[in-house]
Amino acid sequence: MKLNKISNLLLATTIALTVSAAAQAQSRDTIQIAGSSTVLPFSSVVAEEFGNNFAQFRTPVVGSGGSSGGLRQFCQGVGANTIDVANSSRKIRPNEVEACKENGVNEIIEVKIGYDGIVFASRTDAALFKLEPQHVFLAQAAEVPQNGKLVANIYTRWNQIDKNLPDQEILLAIPGSNHGTREVYEEKVVKPGCETLPLVQSMEKDAAKKVCTAMRTDGRVVEIAGDYTETLARLTAQKDAIGVFGLSFYEANRDRIKVATVSGVEPNLDTIISGEYPVSRPLFIYVKGAHIGVIPGLQEYAQFHVSEGMSGFGSVLESAGLIPLSDDERAQMTQNIKLKKSL
């Protein structure tokens, strides 16, 4: 009997907390969104168009803060004091899913919205770069191979790494660790570049990982915690700087910056869709399932985001630089939202 009473008490408490959270969320009638600076311009366009097309709902409020920051806010809990949607330029990590669930965020709806490429760009009046992943690793590494051993990075100019690169000071402006772009940059450029080196290939796994991830601290690599406009400002101030951007930002600023090729491939919509360009990634929004039916318009907003007219081929978001999903992927995302399919 005592166990039954305890079970009933726990059940009643859980129901009360859920109802309380729902009631708290219901006190807010505007969708709150935060996260990736790469997804930010797309999400802002969707929010504005949503407000124009759905008069019964308020225009969503969109903030930045980076993928990690947005997912951290998203996973804080359920209720009016937590956001409804996290924008992310990378897939949510297992530890983030765990953190969400520890805080009662059990319904995480993952929605892929399209694709983007990561580009290396410099001022239009700077030298033209033809980069390989190995070049980028050697430019940013704390230690580099010399005569069969590792030494503190000796490279100060790009043509010291490869005589075919410009005779220009090394200055890399890369995204801070709060950005999803940083993870893709490391996984698809820095790590592969490091692993091409014979000395690294001869090392044990843990030692090799340490070499591949250690970054020089002499000021030639600058981590940008803010959005891409801050990186662009760095290029504007310093002609030798090369910045890491999303393709969509580059497309919107072609009059101010130009891109490098990577492994001989120029980044554009065609080379990213085909998979020819090696540094591309999917973009996501994460929707809080517990807020659907509580925050007005949340499910409608998510469906609108992946609708053909909004983000398909020939859509508003494609013209803004988003690389659309295939028809099959779009249909799957729409179904996931409709059914509230959670991770």
The Cα-based distances of 293 to 25, 111, 134, 296 in angstroms read: 10, 18, 50, 7
Fold of 117-280: D-Maltodextrin-Binding Protein; domain 2 (3.40.190)
Place of tokens 């910045």: 243
CB 261 within 8 A of CB 130: yes
Q: Give the up-direction half-sphere exposure of residue 192: CA atoms within 13 A in the CB hemisphere.
A: 13
Q: For residue 269, what pLDDT is reported?
A: 82
**Residue 61 · residue 32 · CB < 8 Å:** yes
Residue 5 has a pLDDT of 47
Closest CA to 211 of 241, 233, 190, 228: 190
> What is d(CA 232, CA 129) in angstroms, rounded to the nearest whole number?
17
Class for domain 2-115+282-338, per CATH? alpha beta
pLDDT digit string (tens) for the chain, length 343 residues: 444 444 444 444 444 444 444 444 456 899 999 999 889 999 999 999 999 999 999 999 999 888 999 999 999 999 999 999 999 999 999 999 999 999 999 999 999 999 988 899 999 999 999 999 999 999 999 999 999 999 999 999 999 999 999 999 999 999 998 787 888 899 899 999 999 999 999 999 999 999 999 999 999 999 998 889 999 999 999 999 999 998 888 988 999 999 999 999 999 888 887 889 999 888 999 999 999 999 999 999 999 999 999 999 999 998 888 889 989 999 999 999 999 999 9
* pLDDT at res. 27: 65
- Give residue limits of the domains in the chain: 2-115+282-338, 117-280
Region of 258 on the Ramachandran plot (φ > 0 left; ψ -120 to 50 alpha; else beta): beta
Helix extents (H) in the chain:
2-26, 40-53, 66-74, 94-102, 133-140, 158-161, 180-185, 191-195, 198-201, 205-213, 228-237, 247-252, 269-273, 298-305, 308-311, 316-319, 327-338
Are the folds of 2-115+282-338 and 117-280 the same? Answer: yes
- For residue 271 the two structure tokens come to 């080379």
CA distance 316 to 191: 35
